[in-house]
Structure 1
Amino acid sequence: MGLGSLEGGFQWPGQRLVVVTDREIQGRQRRRRRGGVHGTAGATGRQGARIASYQDLQVGDYVVHATHGIGRYLGVRSETILGVTRDYLVIQYEGSDRLKIPTEQVDQIQKYIGAEGHEPRLNRLGGGEWAKVKSRVKESIREMAAELLRLAALRETLPGTAFPPDTPWQREFEDAFPYEETPDQLTAIAEIKADMEKARPMDRLLLGDVGYGKTEVALRAAFKAATAGKQVAILVPTTILAQQHYATCKSRMEGFPINLAVLNRFKSPKEQAEIIRGLADGTIDVVIGTHRLLSDDVKFKDLGLLIVDEEQRFGVAHKERIKQLRANVDVLTLSATPIPRTLHMAMVGLRDMSIITTPPEDRYPVETFVAEYDDALVQDAIGRELSRGGQVFYVHNRIQTLDDVAARLHRLVPEARIAVAHGQMSEDRLEKIVLDFMDGEYDVLVATTIIENGIDMPQVNTIIVEDADHLGLSQLYQLRGRVGRSNRLAYAYFLYRRDKVLTEASEKRLRAIKDFTELGSGFKIAMRDLEIRGAGNILGPEQHGFIVSVGFDLYCQLLEEAVRELKGEPAPEPEIQPNIELQVDAFISDQYVPDARQKIDAYKRIIAIRSMADVEDVADELVDRFGSLPDPVKNLLDIARLRVHCNRLGITSIAQMRDRVTVKFLPSAARDVPFDRLALLNRRPEFRGRIETPRTRGGTSFTVKVGGLDARSLLRTLLLLLEQLHAEVAQTAAR
C-alpha cells in the first residue's frame, strides 16, 4: 500500500474499475511537493536562510550603542576574569576610550549606516554629547512623525475598492497551482487578500528572492480583481519579461472567462491600438506591459489593481505616472531587492510589507566567484557548463563591442554555438534569438543587462559578468538570480579588468555579492545597498542629516517610537533581561568557530533564543556546521536554557558568589512561587539539602549551595531545579 500520484487514468476490466485523475476532469494537474505539510522541508529538503541580521560586523566597522553612541568595532576578545573566561565585543570610542560589551548584550549595538563616504565622528564615553544629539533627533523626528500620521490618516479616507471574499472560481484557480505553496506564500496571499477586501486602497510591498514564487502570489491577486469585474495592469521593466509574464498568466488563467493582453514594443501599431481600445472600453480584463502602459494614450475603463514588478527599474518620469495611476487603486509592488527608499518606507510602516523567505525545494545557493578577468577562467567556466549539457549567459554591457566579445569567446571555445542579444535590436530579431536560445539552439548568449529581469531559463546555470564593478549591487544580484533556478548547482563569475584599482564603493559591492550567496539573501543585499549608497535623501535634506548623526537603524527605531507615542499606544512591555553571573567558562573559541562574523552570528542566534526548541535548533546547527560542542559552548547553551526558565518564572538574576548562587524574582512573580515546596525539593537526592529558602514571608529570592560542583554539574543542578520549580508553579496555578 502506498501514497503517490498518477500521470493519467486507467481501466482495470477484471475488477470493473476505471480510475480518472483530477487532470482529466479539470484539465489541470496539481503536483505536490515532497517533504512536510504545506511545503516545509523534509529530511532531504533545504531551508533557506531566514531574514536575519544583514549587519555582518567586520573589524573597523562603525557601530551605534543606544546609550554610549557611535564607536568603532575592534573585534571579539576572550578575557579571563577571576578564573572565568568569556567573550567580549570591544568598541573604541573617542581617544583611548574602549567599551567591552559581553556577548550576551550583542543586540545592544547596531551597525552604523549613514551616507556613502561619510565617516562619523566617534563619541566620548561618559560625556553628554550623545544624549544631546539623540534629543535633537528625537524632537525633529516627532514633528515628521506627526506629518506622516496625518498623511496615513488621509490615505485611510481615500475611496477604494472593497473586493468581495473569495469565490468558488478563486478556489478552483488556486487549486490548479501545480506546486504546494510554501508557508510564506500562503501568509503573503492572506495579507494581500485582506488588504484588497478593505475599502481603502492597498499599498503593499511583496519582498521575495528571485524564483521564490512572487509571481503566483501576484496572479492570485490579479485573478481576484478580474473576477470581481475590475481591470488589472501588470507593469514590468522589460519586453522579454512582459512576454514571459503573459505566457504564465495565459497558462494559469486558461479556461476562465478572463481576457488577457500584452502591450509592449513587440506589438505592431495596429495591435497596440486594438489593445488600447480594449482597455478603454473594458473588454480587456488583465494587461501585462512595459512602460508603454504609462503612455498618455492608455486609458482604463475601471482599473482596480496595479501590480508593479521591480519598481526600481523604472525612471523618475515613469514613477510619477505610476503615482497618478495608483491614486485610488490597489497597488502591489514586487521586488527581490527594493531600492532604499521603498525599503525604508516599508520598514517604518509607510507601506505594508509581506516577505517570502522559503526557497523552492531542492534549490542550491549559486557558487559565486569575484576575480580579475582571465581567458583561461572564462574558457574553463564555459567548457564545464557545456560538458554537462547546460547553457551560459555572458554579460557585456556595451552594445558597440558585443560582437567583438562574441568573436573572442568563439576563439576560446570553438565548439560553442554563440548568439548576441541587446535592446537596440529589432523586436522580431531579439525575440527570435531569445526563443531560439531557450529552445537550445545556442550554447552561449552574449548580452547586455537586458537579461537582468525575469527571464526564466532553468537550463542556464552559469553566468559570467564582465566589468562587474560598473554595475550596482541590486543589478549584480538580479543577474545572479538568472541562474540556479533548477535543482542543478549553478555558477556566477563577476569579473573586473586585470590590474584595475577598484573604487571603495565598487569593492564593497563585489564583496557583498560574494558574501551573500545563501538562499534568501535579497533582503540583506537591499540593506547592504542602503549601507553602500547611504540612506540618501529619503525624507528631505534635514532628515538626511539626522540619519547621518545617529545611523539609519537608530533613526528608524526612534521614528517608530515617536509614531507609537503620537498614536497614544502604550510602549511594549520590556522583556525581562535576566542577569546570569555564574563562575563557568561560556564562550565560543576561535578554534571552534574561526571566522569572526560567523561567531558574532552564532552569539546573535543564542541571544535570540526564546524557547527550549530554539536551544535545540541552535545546538543542532552548530554541530552540523562546526562539529561536536566543546564544554564552553555547552555551558553557553545551558545558560540560554536558564534564561528561558527565568522568563517563564519572572527571575531577574542568577548570581554566584563563591559557593552560593542567589536566584532573585520580580516582586510580582515571587508571590506565585511556592517557596514552601522548595523545602520538599531539598529532600531529593539530586539536591541534597542545597536549597536555602527565605526566612521571612514575602521573600523574593532563594539560595542554592553549589560547593563541590564543577561547571557542568552546577548548570545541570540549576536547570533541574528551575524545571521542577516551573512544574510546582504550574500545579499551584492549576489548583
Structure 2
Amino acid sequence: FNQRLDAFPIRIEVLSRFRTSKEQQTILDGLVNGSVDICIGTHRLLQKDVAFKDLGLLIIDEEQRFGVAHKEHLKQMRREVDVLTLSATPIPRTLHMSLVGVRDMSTMETPPEERLPIKTYVAEYNEHLTREAILRELERNGQVFFVHNRVQSIAWVASKLQSLVPEAKIVIAHGQMPEAELEAVMVDFTQGKSDVLACTTIIESGLDMPNVNTLIVNKADKFGLTQLYQLRGRVGRGANLAYAYFLFDKGTHLTPTAEKRLRTIFEATELGAGFGIAMKDLEIRGAGTLLGMKQSGYISAVGFSLYCRLLADAVDEQKAKQAGIPEEKVKSSRLPPPTIDLPLAAYIPEKYVSDLDTRLNLYQNLVKLEKVEQVEALADEFSDRFGSPPPEVKNLLYAVKVKVLAAKAGIESISTEQGQIILRLFQGMQFNKQKLQPFLKDGIKLGLSQLRLNPKRLGQEWQRVLEEVLGRVG
C-alpha cells in the first residue's frame, strides 16, 4: 500500500500486537483526529480503545476468520459505512445473503499466471507417507508446512517428526508464543533457514511463501471445510507443482459430515474452486440466520427452498419500492414454480442408487434445474454414473422436463383428475387459440385458462403431445 500510494498525500498505518505500546497509541490518536487515512490491522482494530473520526469504508479481508460479533462491532462504528468483504470461501450466511440478493457479489475467476492445481491426497496417517512427502520436497530445495492444531502437543509432534526425518530442520510456530519469538521463527523460515514448520492454523491466511510447496495436515477430520481449503491455499503460490496431504488417525471412524468435507476437498482441486467449496459448505452447514447471530445452521420451520424464495421476494419488493416500480408489476413478474402431478411412477429406486445421501443429492439437483438442456445433461450423468436408467427414473426426468417447460409457459399447475391431465394458467392469463390450433384434435379440449388432455384417447403419444403443447404455449 505504501508503495502504491507513495505519490499521494495519504498516511497509512499498521495496527497489530507486534507494534509497541507507544506506536499503537500514536496510531490510535491519529485515527481519532483523522490524521491517519488508511489503517490496516488485525483483530486489534476491534478492541474498545479504537475509535475513528470519520470511518467511510470498511474492508474485511479473509472474512471467514471473523465472527459475526466482530463484524457487527465494526459496523456500529458508523451506521452508513460501506462494507467490502473479501474471501476465497465466504461463510454460509454471507454467501447465502449474496445469493438471494441481500448483498451484491462479484467473483474473480482468473488465476495468477503459471499457477498450477494442487495435487491433493486424503489418507490415514502413515509415517512412511509423511517421510516420503517431506523428503520429496526437500530434494527440490523446497519447504514444508506440517499443521497440527493442538498447542499442548505440538512440541511432541515436532519431536516425533524430527526422529522420522532427521535430515530436516524442524521449527515450531503457534499463536501462544511470545510475539518476538514467533516473529523470529517466521522470519527464519521465510529466509529458508529451516525446512519444516510444525504449526497450528496460524498459517491459515495472510502468508505468501512461494518456496513452500508441500502441506501436511494432521487430524484433518477435525477441521472445517473452509479451513482445509484455506490451508491448502498456503502452498502452490509459485510456478512449482504443490502437494497437499490431509491425514486422519488410523482406525478413526469418520463422521458423515467429516467424510463429506474430506471428499469435497479431495474432489475440488481445480484453480478457483473456492466458490464451489463455499457452496458445498453452505449445503453441509446450512445458511444461518439473516438477522440473528448464527453464521450457519438450518431453517427448519419453513424449509430451505421456501425460505430462499420468500427472502428473494422480499428483497425484490424492497428494490422495486426504491426504484418506484408498482408492487403489482413486481408480483406479476415473479410467478411461483408450477405444481406437477402426472399419472407416472416417477422416483429413483433404491435398487438403482443404493446410497441414501446420493439419492437425496440427485433429487436436490433435479429441483434446481431451470433449462431443458440441464435436464438432458443430468440424464446423461445418470447413465454414466449408475447405468441405463429404469422406467421410474425416465419418468422422473420427463416430469422435471415438463415442469421446466410449464414454468416457461406460465402454467400454474398440471394435475391429473378423473383420468384427464389438466393444464391451468395463472389467474388473469388466457391460452392463445391460434398458436394451439394445430394440436386441437380428438383427446384435447381447450378453454380460456384450462387445457385438458385425455391420455386414453391419445394413447402412447400423450407424453410427446404434452411436451409439444407446452413448447407451443411457451
Q: CA offset at residue 305 of structure 1?
A: 1.8
Alpha-carbon spacing, 1:647–1:523, altered in 2? closer, same or farther (3 Å)? closer
1:653 equivalent to 2:404? Answer no
| Partner residue in 2 for 1:275 | 27
Partner-residue secondary structure (3-state), 2:370: coil
Alpha-carbon spacing, 1:665–1:304, altered in 2? closer, same or farther (3 Å)? closer
**Counterpart AA for 1:513:** R
1:369 equivalent to 2:132? Answer no
Alpha-carbon spacing, 1:481–1:512, altered in 2? closer, same or farther (3 Å)? farther
Q: CA offset at residue 408 of structure 1?
A: 2.0
**Residues of 2 paired with 1:630 and 1:370: CA distance?**
33
Alpha-carbon spacing, 1:655–1:448, altered in 2? closer, same or farther (3 Å)? same
Choose which of 393, 396, 402 in structure 1 pairs with 2:148. Answer: 396
**Residues of 2 paired with 1:696 and 1:314: CA distance?**
59
Q: CA offset at residue 697 of structure 1?
A: 8.8
Matches within 5 A, 1:573-722: 573-582=335-344, 588=348, 595-619=355-379, 626=385, 630=389, 632=391, 636-651=396-411, 652-653=413-414, 662=421, 664-666=423-425, 669-674=429-434, 677-678=437-438, 691-694=442-445, 700-703=451-454, 705-707=457-459, 709=460, 715-716=463-464, 718-720=466-468, 722=470
| Partner residue in 2 for 1:266 | 18
* 8 Å contact from structure 2 (residues 235, 242) kept in 1: no
**Residues of 2 paired with 1:646 and 1:306: CA distance?**
45
1:452 equivalent to 2:452? Answer no
Alpha-carbon spacing, 1:694–1:435, altered in 2? closer, same or farther (3 Å)? same
Choose which of 261, 268, 273 in structure 2 pairs with 1:513. Answer: 261
**Residues of 1 paired with 2:421 and 2:167: CA distance?**
76
Matches within 5 A, 1:216-255: 249-250=1-2, 253=5
Q: CA offset at residue 446 of structure 1?
A: 0.8
Q: CA offset at residue 275 of structure 1?
A: 3.3
Partner-residue secondary structure (3-state), 2:56: strand
Partner-residue secondary structure (3-state), 1:575: coil
**Counterpart AA for 2:385:** F
Q: CA offset at residue 288 of structure 1?
A: 0.6
Alpha-carbon spacing, 1:587–1:438, altered in 2? closer, same or farther (3 Å)? farther
Percent identity among equivalent residues? 37
**Counterpart AA for 2:248:** L
| Partner residue in 2 for 1:292 | 44
1:495 equivalent to 2:243? Answer no
**Counterpart AA for 1:409:** L
Q: Deviations over 1:687-712 (max 9, x none)?
A: xxx754439898732446444x5xxx
| Partner residue in 1 for 2:281 | 525
**Residues of 2 paired with 1:347 and 1:607: CA distance?**
20
**Residues of 1 paired with 2:436 and 2:280: CA distance?**
52
Alpha-carbon spacing, 1:472–1:609, altered in 2? closer, same or farther (3 Å)? closer
Partner-residue secondary structure (3-state), 1:369: strand
Alpha-carbon spacing, 1:611–1:319, altered in 2? closer, same or farther (3 Å)? closer
* 8 Å contact from structure 1 (residues 393, 462) kept in 2: yes
Q: CA offset at residue 406 of structure 1?
A: 2.5
**Residues of 2 paired with 1:270 and 1:720: CA distance?**
78
Q: Deviations over 1:234-273 (max 9, x none)?
A: xxxxxxxxxxxxxxx4465565554322122333445445
| Partner residue in 1 for 2:131 | 379
* 8 Å contact from structure 1 (residues 472, 509) kept in 2: no
Structure with the larger RCO, 1 or 2 (CA within 8 Å, 6+ apart): 1
* 8 Å contact from structure 1 (residues 693, 703) kept in 2: yes
Alpha-carbon spacing, 1:606–1:402, altered in 2? closer, same or farther (3 Å)? closer
**Counterpart AA for 1:719:** E
| Partner residue in 2 for 1:90 | none
* 8 Å contact from structure 1 (residues 464, 495) kept in 2: no
| Partner residue in 1 for 2:324 | none
Alpha-carbon spacing, 1:579–1:470, altered in 2? closer, same or farther (3 Å)? closer
**Residues of 1 paired with 2:302 and 2:448: CA distance?**
49
Alpha-carbon spacing, 1:405–1:539, altered in 2? closer, same or farther (3 Å)? closer
**Residues of 2 paired with 1:379 and 1:338: CA distance?**
34
Partner-residue secondary structure (3-state), 2:197: strand
Instruction: Note the residue ranges of structure 2 that are not aligned, 5 or more in a row.
Output: 322-326
1:410 equivalent to 2:162? Answer yes
When the two structures are aligned, how many residues end up with a matched partner? 443
**Residues of 2 paired with 1:554 and 1:586: CA distance?**
21
**Counterpart AA for 1:581:** P
TM-score of the superposed pair, with normalisation by structure 1:
0.48
Q: CA offset at residue 486 of structure 1?
A: 6.8
* 8 Å contact from structure 1 (residues 338, 526) kept in 2: no
RMSD: 5.0
TM-score of the superposed pair, with normalisation by structure 2:
0.70
